[in-house]
Structures are given as structure tokens and as C-alpha cells.
Chain A
């Protein structure tokens, strides 16, 4: 039964082999090691899934990691329903993207390095989802962040790429700062950081308050929000979303695997995993829901006007992650996980298709320079179209079912902000459909707007790339079918499967209302697609006119609400300025060093004065002696 250990450790072995022997020996064969390892993990994962389906949950320690007094933690694994879902998502996407990369990265000089990092990432991600305690979760958490840093900055000789990698890491550290404190609070509260005892005891602390930094706060709210800080960073929610768009500097397979399908969803996974804690705090849940809803709207509006094909998808990812948090925040953890699962397929597919387009366009990313690619690359076109239909929530496609479930549970659940986030969610559904099809129409329809050289070069991508596209496309269409709601005659199997871990909120609504919510979301999706068709297929002068008319609004969106500029202005520059001018310039140089160099200097000055007495001239000595005698005599006489 312990063969589940192969799931994380096969990729780790592949990483070690590639990083140690890749550069000199394996070279362009490096991918074999990584692909075999991750495919092996996938096979063991499927076997494990059947175990879990049969009701066998694994929770055991491998070895004792840190022991210090009453603080004890092991490297240990928990495989329950929630983990099983994540395992399937991670290993499936990872395997397909590994294969795709063989074609995409072909001939790159850092080939071995790329596959080494991918394997390391897979290992860390698996450790993250398989952990049975918070510290190992944290290990995987920081580990995937590290791989993300390596892979964003993969083309490290480019300044923009190395900047983006560094930014991703540091922004995430801000989130992890809270996350780490959350773990400490959990330990101080429960005396342990293993999931099982923490979650089973959480109810007992439901009404406890604690003094935190001088304020009396509700204990479970505090812990939940500290953990949520980590989620905000990792899943690129406001205000820590700034790193994800820049992360597109990495190779496209990386964007698909790490910055869409798996790593960035870890934040959602964390909230779902800690649902026993979050559920005890209405405040925390409300903040989660609002953060998700606002982020999702915010990112969708930015996505409307961008021209960089990968950045649009990146903003779409932020927006969809917001959707998942929105779901978790109204207590619909299963719906959030369901969307995580379907999103992994269609979003990975969108990115890989974008990569395929870039491949054909010799690295061009600007939508305005594309157009009419449909006839040159049919497989890419059709798969990307299906992915977009899925994300737009067209009935029958995977995204439809998960999105509908979220919207329905937001509408009908007992959350005080439920109705509000439902409205936002519906608006976002419209915007999502619009920008997704804007991308499709501008890329594949109409006339080619690039250079002649590019046009000459246009071609469909090699088999290693198109086959993963087709397989993922099946997922983008069909993955939602395991969760067809009862309303449509389905079995809602996905929800039933996760219920033992996550529970399921009560829906307070009639069938009529459920039909209405569904109808509104379908209308929103279709009108988004329709409007995009109108703007970019029929009346192509409207967008230009609009940008001129609403220039100020357009500028704000184009510049992403100036958040990066704001952070640079209030955090980065002041920190460096303080270091240069105050700490080095004043404290170290003028205060401390002044004392340090001043004392010896003072002593030196003092002795220089004393030294003047010793002139070496006998007359002086005699005069001073006479003076001394005089003084002594005077003193004796006057006494």
C-alpha cells in the first residue's frame, strides 16, 4: 500500500538525474527521464484513486522531520478524496504538458534544465497536496514558488524575465508571511499542526477570542485570515495579483502547468483543505468571497483591453481563481474544487494553444498582428475554440457545469454576501465570454495582419504538441460531465465524492429559481460571445471608436489600474531610499560610526594636548616645577 510514495518521489528522482547529469550526458534526451517519471506518477495516481473510491483513505507518517520540545512534525501523507482530485489534476496536466514541451522546447539550450525544473515542480506540488500537516504543506508551497521563480526566469539573460521571477517570489513571500504566522497560531492553539487533530478540535474553539498584537480578535477568524494571506499570494488575488501577469515571461508550457492549471490553484486547495476552520468564521468566509468576487471582476475588466495573447489568458486565470474563492467564500467548497478541476483542463488548453500560435508566429504575442490563422492551424483553432466555449460557460461544456454550480450556490446559499457575489459572478461570466472570444476572433478569423515573413512561416505545430491539445480538449469538454447537477438529470457525482471532506451547503431555493440562475448565466455567456462577434467580426470599427470615446477608462484598464506603479511608489522605492540615505547615510555613517571613530579621535586629541607639555626644553620643565612648588607652598600657607 505504500507505493503511493512513488507519486511524489518519481519526479524528484527525475529532477535529481536531470540536474546532475542533464547538462553533460542526457542533453536532448533529458525529457525521457522526466516524462517516464511523471507518467509513472500518473499511473500510480489512478490506482490510488480507485483505492479512495473504494473508501480507503491513507494518513501516515514517513519519518519524523522536526522535533523540538512539544513541537513535533513529520513528513507524512494524507490521501483522501480532496487529495485524490488534486492528484489527478496535477499528474494529468503535468504529463500532457511534459509531452507538449518536447515539441515546444525543442532545440533550446537549457533543455535539460527545463525538464529538471518541471519535474521538481511536479514533486513539490505533489508534496503540497499530499501533506498531512501544515508544515509539509508549507514546504510544498514554497517549493512550487521556487520552481515558479526558476521557470518564469527561465530565459534569465533577459532582464524582464529575471525581474518577473524575482517579483513572483517576493510578492508570494508577502502572502507566506501571513501563512507562516497562521501555522504558528495553529500550533499555539491546538498544540499540533497535523490536519486530523486540528480539524477535529476546531469546533471546540469556535467562540474563543485571543489577544493578537494588542487587539482582541476571534481566534478562528484570525487563523483563517492568516492562512488566507498565503492563498492571496499564491493564487494571485488582489492585492497580491501583480506577479501573475508578469509570470508570462516564462515558456508557455510553464504558464499552462504552473500559472494556470496547478500551482496557482493551491490557494483554493488550501481554503478547501482548511474548510473546518473557515466554516467557523463568518467574517473570514465573507472576506474570502468578497476578495474572490472583486478580484474576478477587476481582472476580467483588465482582460478586455489587453493585446498580449498570454496576458489576456493570465488575467482570465486571475479572474477564474477569483471565481473559485467566491465559491469557497459562500461555503460551496465542492463547487470551488469542481471549478478548479474543470478550469485546469480548459485553461491549460488555452495556454498550450497560445503556445502553439506563438510557435507558428515566431514568438509574436500581439493579437493585433495576427488574424486568419484558422486555415493554417486547424487543430489549434478547434481545440482553442472548444476551450473558449468551455470557459464562456456554453451549456454542455465542462466550464458550464462548474460555473453554474458556483452561481447557484452563491445565489441560494446562506452567506450574507451571497446575492451580491452572484451578481458580480454573472457580470464576470459575461465579460469572460467577451474577452475569450475577442481573442479567438482576432487570432483566427479575419485577415492576417502580421508581416509577410511571418505569414510565410505559418504552420500547424508538430504532433508532440497537437496530441496533448486534443487530449486536453477532451477534458475541457467532458471533465464537467462527472458533476452534472440533479436538476439536469445528472448525479452530481463530483459533489458526492468530496462531500465526506468538504461537506455541502444547503441550497435554499426552488427549482424555478435554479432554472432562472442557470438561464441568466447562459444568456450572459452568449451575449458576451455575440458582442465579441459584433465588435471583431462584423463592425470592427466599434472598438476603435470606443477606446477614443472612453479614453480615460481605456487608459486605466490598459495600465492595469496602475497597481504596479503604486507598489513601486509606496514600497520598493521607499525601502531602497531608506536603506541608502537613512540607514547607511545617517545611522551607520553619522551616528554609530561617529561614536566609534569619535572616541579614539577624542582620546587622540586629548593626548595631543597633553603631549604639548613635553617640549623637551629644560627651561620649561624648570618653570613648571617652580610653578608647582609655588602652588603647593601657597596652598600650605592658606590652609
Chain B
């Protein structure tokens, strides 16, 4: 059966997207370190070029099929049957676009705030971009694993070199957490390789049926890698530290793209590879998701640090995502995928915004703020937009995702839906309280006289504002990408992988 649609754009678009930033990073090496302006402008141009190149993915994507599109396949290590195999479908396409967009914003937000080792900083950002896109496009497990681990290094550097005072602890913690998970997944990949008769091809592996016992073991091995990345309760504690210590651009990449990898992994690998195990583990997954939603939200009520609060709110929001995914129905899954994009946009934007005011005040303590709306009205209005999106107000993107997830979650398990919905009440509580303490009430001496955000900063946030309302008012433009792929995936899961076996049985009977 043909599983892919060839790329008909006339050039290998996915490879270009992966290696253009990497090549850009290599060229940065040639620029003199003292020429900071050239470094910044060059990085900006590279990131914009990558974004422009990614636009055809949005415009030319064939929404009427679940098959992989824009594919490329070359033999890489033939002796082990490892291929350089790329392609995207309705589940991954939006994340590639998100990655290229976020990178531009990360370059812009760092313009004046990164003063030391500028060259290395932008090299890290660009390599990061290539690796992230690689993860979303890989159709070969070895290639995937390569990109997956490749992401760790630039992120580790971003936190450890350009981070806050406690950066080394946070960076090491981040590194160890994710590495432990990944290694277990590597073992799983190798087991699969032998089980399937020597192939790393993801499309091939996801059509085979594995014994239930094995599925169960492998499900948890992959879970270790993905749950840490999401992060799910109780392996979330690296996230607040990493977010708090990372420079703004690091937090943004982390929130917008990196932690999406975990949820993406569940959808792309865990569900189709281990459908029976996934279904059997649904109660556990829903429970963990609901705990994350409520736990993350309640803990936000007691935060005193701006970035830490937003980090914990990510735990809550990602709980919604995993709830949607493991609801194992169409609304839940589509809501979950959309909510991943939404969370990337909104939390990314919140970190960008916090970064802007941090650049002015150099404090993350909420108590150091107050009355910012009087001194920075434009900034306050924009921050309000993201606050509202974060608490899921209708006509913003957050609402669409959360509503579909709660609908799907409720369908799968009434308690899960009801308990998840309480997260929305608490969410309004901590976000509005945060907003009040920072923007309302009497002007704190520490923020008096601050300059409102400038044009560069407005341009940085503008794409996010547009996305908040675009997805909120016309979500079909984005949901339309997913329908076929999600439907296909759910068929695979709900037929318990026995679908193919059933066909084989029928064929046998016909032959007889």
C-alpha cells in the first residue's frame, strides 16, 4: 500500500527547512564576534527565510488525505536499514509552521537582552530550529532519535550559559530528566526494530501488530520519554526550574515547541504502535492528566515569581492536552492537537511579554510590580489578550481547544470531563489575580516611569495576537488540517491494531 504522497513542490522543502538554519549557524561562525549587528541581522534573515519557505506547507497541504506528504527518502545506513526519510501529515504540519514562526520571535526578543556571547547564542537558536523541525518530520526512528537528542544540547546551553542565577542546577536537571526518559525510549526503539524484522521505518512499524505484553512494556518505555517532555505529573518538576532560569528565548522555545514533543510523541508513536496498551492504559493516563490540570492550576495560586507561575500553568494546560489525546475520540484528539498549538502561541507569547518587562525591571517577583497598566498601556492591553486566551475566553484560541477537549474527555469519562472543567475556574483565578497584581492597583515605585513597549516588541507579539484571534474566530482553518489524519489514527487505535489482522483473515478465507 502506498503510504506517502511525493513532494511536488520541485525542491526538498523539509530538508531545506531543517538544514537552512543549520547552514545559517555554520555561516555565523565566519562572522566576526565583534560585529554584533551583522550577527543579529543575519540570524533574523535566516529565520525569516525559513518561515517563508515553510509557508507552502500551509498553502499547498492536501487536507483530503491522511497520508504523509512532501516526503523525501534516501538510504542512509543501508547495512542497518536506516533511511533518511522525511514527511509530514495533518498532525505534524502545524508544528513545523509553529517552529519556524517561533524562531523569528526568539531572535527578535533577544535583540537587546543578550549581550554576552551573542554569536554562540544565535548559533544555538538556529541549530535548535533545525533539530525541532527534524523531530516533527522524521519518518525513520533512528533519524527521529538523532534529532530528538540533538535538541537537548542547544537547549542545555541556552539555559546553562545565558540563564539566571541558578542556571547550572536548572540546566543539569533539565538534561538529566529528559535524557533518562529518552534512553528508555531508545531501548524501546531497538526492541521494535528486532520485533518487526529489522526496520526503523515508522510508517511500516505503525501498521504491524505486536503482542499485548510487549506493547505494555514498550508503552511505558516510550511513556518515560514523552511524559517527561510534556511534562506530566509527577515528572514535571524540571519545568519550573528550567523556565525560570532560562533566558526569554529559551523559555519561549521550551514552552512553545519543546514540551509539545512529548504530546506529539504520544500521538505519533505510542497510540499507533501500541493501540491495545494505549487503550488499556487510558484510565491511568486520564487520571494523570486530570491531576496535572488541577495540581498545576492550584499551585499557581501560591506562586510569587512571574515565570514560575506561567511554568506551572503550562503543567495545567498540558494536562488538558494529554486528556484530549487519551480521550481517544475525535473531538478530544483534535482539541488536544489544537491546544498544543494554542499553548505554544499563548504561553510562548506570555513568556515573550514577561521577557519584555524583565528587560526593563530585572525582577521576576510579582510583588515588585503593580500599576503597570498606568505606565505601559499598550503593553497592558496586549498582555490582557494573552491572559484571556490563557483562561479560554470564547473567540480566543484557548476556548476552542479547551472546549473540544472537555467535550471529548467527558465523552470518554464523565469524571475526567467534569474535573478538567474545574481547571478552567482555577485558571481564571490565578491568571486574573496575576494580572491584577502586576497591572492594576497603585503604581509600584519600581515600575514608575517605564517606557511602553517599542515597535520591535509590538512586531514580536503581533503574530501571536493574530493567531489568538484567527484560531479563536475561524478554527476550521486549522482543524481542517487534522481531520483525516486524526480519523485514520483513531481507526487504527480503536480497531486495536486488529484491523489489519482482520483483513488478513478475510483474505485467507477468500483464498480458501
Contacts and interface: CB of A to CB of B under 8 A. Distances in A.
Contacts of A65: 473-476
B108 to A, nearest CB: 22
A619 to B, nearest CB: 38
Given A66-B476, A188-B411, A596 B299 contact: no
B433 interface: yes
A446 to B, nearest CB: 38
Interface string B321-335: 000000001110011
A71 B374 CA distance: 43
B433 A180 contact: no
Contact of A213 (B411, B418, B433, B474): B418
B202 interface: no
A208 interface: no
Nearest to B436: A162
Nearest to B427: A173
B173 A596 contact: yes
B234 A592 contact: yes
A212 B414 contact: yes
A138 B302 CA distance: 30
Nearest to A146: B393
B479 A169 contact: no
A181 interface: yes
B438 to A, nearest CB: 11
Contacts of B236: 592
B436 A180 contact: no
Given A64-B476, A157-B442, A579-B300, A23 B404 contact: no
A68 B407 CA distance: 11
A174 interface: yes
B24 interface: no
Interface centre among A138, A157, A173 (most CB of B within 10 A): A173
B302 A593 contact: no
Given A142-B394, A146-B388, A593-B237, A68 B298 contact: no
A593 B173 CA distance: 11
B25 to A, nearest CB: 32
A170 B425 contact: yes
A63 B298 CA distance: 38
B393 A180 contact: no
B417 A181 contact: yes
A576 B302 contact: yes
A456 B159 CA distance: 66
B421 interface: yes
B301 A579 contact: yes
Nearest to B409: A184
Contacts of B234: 591-592
B239 to A, nearest CB: 11
Interface string A580-620: 10011001100111001000100000000000000000000
Contacts of A68: 330-331, 334-335, 404, 479, 483
B381 interface: yes
Given A67-B476, A212-B414, A592-B234, A600 B394 contact: no
Contacts of A142: 393-394, 399
Contact of A177 (B298, B422, B436): B422
B443 interface: yes
B424 interface: yes
Nearest to B414: A213
Nearest to B423: A177
Contacts of B381: 19
Given A67-B479, A180-B406, A157 B425 contact: no
A63 B477 CA distance: 12
Nearest to A578: B298
B476 A580 contact: no
A139 B301 contact: no
Interface string A298-334: 0000000000000000000000000000000000000
Interface in B327-381: 329-331, 334-335, 371, 373-374, 377, 381
Interface string B467-478: 000000111100
Contacts of B196: none
B176 interface: yes
A621 B426 CA distance: 64
A170 B440 contact: no
B371 A157 contact: yes
B42 interface: no
A153 interface: yes
Contacts of B388: 146
A55 interface: no
A69 B330 contact: yes
A188 B299 CA distance: 33
B415 A213 contact: yes
A169 B407 contact: no
A145 to B, nearest CB: 9
B475 A575 contact: no
A588 B432 contact: no
24 contacts: A66-B404, A68-B483, A69-B483, A70-B330, A135-B394, A139-B395, A146-B388, A149-B432, A157-B440, A157-B443, A158-B441, A163-B436, A169-B428, A170-B425, A170-B429, A173-B429, A187-B407, A212-B414, A575-B301, A579-B301, A580-B302, A583-B302, A591-B234, A592-B236
Given A66-B475, A156-B440, 6 more contacts: A65-B474, A66-B403, A68-B404, A71-B404, A149-B432, A170-B432
Q: 8 closest A-B pairs (Cβ-Cβ)?
A: A579-B302, A69-B330, A162-B440, A139-B394, A580-B302, A156-B440, A579-B301, A583-B299
Interface of A: 19, 23, 63-71, 135, 138-139, 142-143, 146, 149, 153, 156-159, 162-163, 166, 169-170, 173-174, 177, 180-181, 184, 187-188, 212-213, 575-576, 578-580, 583-584, 587-588, 591-593, 596, 600
